Structure 1
Amino acid sequence: MNWIDNYVEGLIELYNTRDVYDLYDCLEIDIVKLDKNNILLLDSEAFYNRNYLGIETVFIRNNLSTRYERFILAHELGHAVIHTYMPYASFNRKLINKGKIEKQANYFALKLLNINLKDECYRNLTINQISSMLELPIKVINDFKI
């Protein structure tokens, strides 16, 4: 996924930060925290909306740990930056490979947050241990561990 690496490196170079909150400010994407039962979240942690009242917005649960919130925000930023075609394809869900775009957004988030699951420090740990230590879903660890 070298092309995603290029997006991440470009953002960091352009805005001189890899801090997800700073990048949201620079890109003028609003973050709106909602109660986990809010109907807008549809039982998920967050979602990105390209045009909510004329602005880009990420709606996110208000009860996430700080570390997990940063990952989720980085993931949603990935959708904003690398999936610019989504508003058009979303009218026909058969045209979207949801697993592929979610994996790409997860990869973007890991790169932005400088998390390398192939790092030596994770070598002898189980998937569950890494998941717990990084506060990331097991699926993310499974997709990028080896």
Structure 2
Amino acid sequence: MYSWIDDIISGIRENYNTDNVYELYDYLEIKIHKIEASNILLRGNDSFYYRDFNDKEIVFIRNDIKDTMEAFILFHELAHALLHTQICQAAFNKNFTNLGKFEKQANYFAFKMLNVSFDKVELESMSIDQIASCIGISPELSYLITDY
């Protein structure tokens, strides 16, 4: 279903020879700015991707997120930067945009970039929250796993 995203991921890995999210942000000249969770820019979210009219890009991310969760969120926002180049314009017109589709694609990208794979037999007896814990994402985001 997302083979086109797999192709983009393969190209990224081949081009930049890294899976390190921070190195990729440097190569792509996307700034990361950590801010307080209460900052109005986040509107209650963990992060926010922004591209201005001069194509300068920045991701604002909560400053209290740790480790794998931060990498997941940064890969998710990187997906928006790479896969959804028109997302800013589209987000303003929700009648013509399937924002849920964009979010699923960004989550898929993030899981793949983190090399997360699921063996259904191995995970069969585990709850979604247990799986989330095993792969290092917070239980609040365990709902993201249900499609994979």
TM-score by length of 1: 0.91
What per-residue deviation string (whole Å, max 9, x for no partner) do you get for residues 62-97 of structure 1? 001211000000000000000012133223121111
**Which residue of the partner structure matches residue 115 of structure 1?**
116
Aligned pair in 2 of structure 1 residues 126, 24: CA closer, same or farther (>3 Å)?
Answer: same
CA RMSD of aligned residues (A): 1.7
Equivalent residues in 2 for 1:60-139 (5 A)?
60-118=61-119, 121-136=122-137, 137-139=141-143
Report the counterpart of residue 8 of structure 2 in structure 1.
7
Q: Secondary structure at the match of 1:17?
A: coil
TM-score, normalised via structure 2 length: 0.90
> Structure 1 stretches (4+) deviating beyond 4 angstroms?
none
7-16 or 89-98, larger mean C-alpha shift: 89-98
Alignment map for 1:33-72 (pairs within 5 Å):
33-51=34-52, 55-72=56-73
Q: How many residues align?
A: 144
Q: Which runs of 5+ in 2 are unaligned?
A: none
